[in-house]
Amino acid sequence: MERTVFLIDMQSFYASFEKVYQMNLDDKPVVVAGDPKIRSGVILAACPIAKQWGIKTAEALWEAKNKCPDLVVIQPRMQAYLDASVEIASVLESFSDQVEPYSVDEIFVEMTYVLDGYGGDAYAAAHVMKRQMKRMLGVNARIGIGPTKVLAKMACDHFAKKTTDGIFSLTYHNLQEKLWPRAIGDLFGVGGRMKKHLQNMGIRTIGQLANFPLEQMKKRWGINGELLWRTAYGEDSSPVTVDTHIRRQGIGHHMTLTRDYCTWREVKVVLRELSEEVARRARANSYMGMTVSTGAGGHDFDFPAGFHRQRKLENYTNDGTVIYHIVLRLFEEYWDGYPIRSVGITLDQLVPDTFRQLSLFHPIQDKEVLNHTIDDLKERFGNDAILHASSLTNAGQALLRAQKIGGHYK
Neighbours of 324 (CB within 10 A): 21
Q: Does the annotation flag 9 for ligand binding?
A: yes
Residues ≥6 apart with Cβ < 8 Å to 319: 279, 364, 367, 368, 371
Q: Are 149 and 108 in contact (CB under 8 A)?
A: yes
Strand 340-348 and strand 351-352: pairing?
A: unpaired
Q: Are 213 and 193 in contact (CB under 8 A)?
A: no
Alpha carbon distance 24, 28 (integer Å): 8
Alpha carbon distance 168, 181 (integer Å): 17
Exposure string for 102-138, b = 16+ CB within 10 A, e = fewer: bebbbbbbbbeeebeebeeebeebbbebbeebeeebe
Neighbours of 166 (CB within 10 A): 19
Residues ≥6 apart with Cβ < 8 Å to 243: none
Determine which helix (DSSP H) or strand (DSSP E) holds 222, and give its type and residue range. Answer: none
Residues ≥6 apart with Cβ < 8 Å to 4: 110, 111, 112, 115, 122, 145, 146, 147
Extract the runs of DSSP E, i.e. beta strands, from 278-383: 287-297, 306-317, 340-348, 351-352
- Closest CA relative to residue 217, chosen from 227, 231, 207: 227
Alpha carbon distance 93, 98 (integer Å): 7
Set 18, 106, 110, 273: catalytic member:
106
Is-catalytic flag, 106? yes
Q: Are 9 and 141 in contact (CB under 8 A)?
A: yes
List, as residue ranges, the binding site for Mg(2+). 9, 105
List, as residue ranges, the binding site. 9, 105
**Hey, which residues are catalytic here?**
106
